[in-house]
Structure 1
């Protein structure tokens, strides 16, 4: 389906091996090459005397073993899979962001070997999701390692202000098509504080107008979705973060956009993407939206 590879970051940790499994399934569905990349700063320490048993393998040998194990795992899962590997003596976050420039998507585990148990999302995954030029798919730690396809599969996408011009929506449509899954398009809406739906005298028409406006935005955004995609439209009252986190419990993949400002150097995620990356119950795809 695409000439660009699907890149997965590997470091030998259980979350990264789960990402390898998931990425292998995804690569088969896309008809794409799987590129398995391990990046670390082992080269910095090659000249130092190793602590402990001098017969222990060097960091470079260990890195090569990580990618060899990962590619063997992927090919056992899908014997005909096209897969290549690379070991990069670089800081992982920056290396993976660069690898993503020519990738169809970048797939990562929620945490790597150096992740602290109390952290919900590792720094490498967070950095890549905030800066990569391609969609970044993060496998949440509580989910299984299988890409679901066919009847019963569900891709959820949050529909924002960009409407039909949203890169996140286009990505979600593509994912629903290759999986033969239902596309669940969700638009969150809220009443202003002075138009609460809890008050019996204010409930009804004001809230209905806000919901109708949300439905109109949703309908306009979805006007070009191909007829062969099974589509479910939903408008839900509440903050977008809470609405999408709730939807993630019935989803196989949750897709959100993240605006990219070329002049901004900090994390470029936004509150919604940041929240779902940390708390969603399914895999999360963060798709760059160019300003």
Structure 2
């Protein structure tokens, strides 16, 4: 018998008719009746009318006390006055209450078992998914064709970004050329028109023209800097290691695709956030995670399989 198991009993005494003692014991109910007979000052012996082996004996006793509270002689005692009812009536009520309690206990045990089973299933699923993700990451790392496509994508986007920046620099240069020659023309016209001979005027004009000229001549340096900045991501300078390429892809916000078992997962990093998307069982899923990529992929695949 487990530590919390025991017996619920009903004791009767012919000297106190229709007053019944109800309680629990972890020993023999007969021994408990003899003990009570010796301890109380009531004439006659207490005898066991009926006992029930139960789980959670103390909790079951409290459950019975709560159900029979209207018959209880005092709030802390175990004596109950059933107002002239025979003990068979009380036994029948106890049978019904304990059956009801057993159903509640059964439901509780089933709930615990279900929760335990869910935890076990999730643990099993997590182990399976971790193995699938690790396999996919190893396969990705060893797929030279896949890595070549990523490298070409990074190269293309870097060159496009380089050309776009150079175009901005050239447009700025054209604007400065216009300002430079416009300033020269306006300065000359004003000097002739107003017959300006002031040294200060020509000195200020020369300074403004020199500044505009220096900006336009520096454009070639700017173009070289743009080329140099993006050249690190040109094909000839890119690593063959996927783990080295991933931060570059994150910086350029390039999506990549990884196959985990038969599921095509799109991966995109945005700062410290990893954005994952996939079509699973004909439904589209998108989720964002923080932390490392492997953990994010595991969580995402568990989410898909439980959806």
TM-score, normalising length: structure 1: 0.23
Q: Which structure's residues are more often helix, by fraction?
A: 2
> Which protein has the larger Cα radius of gyration, Structure 1 or Structure 2?
2
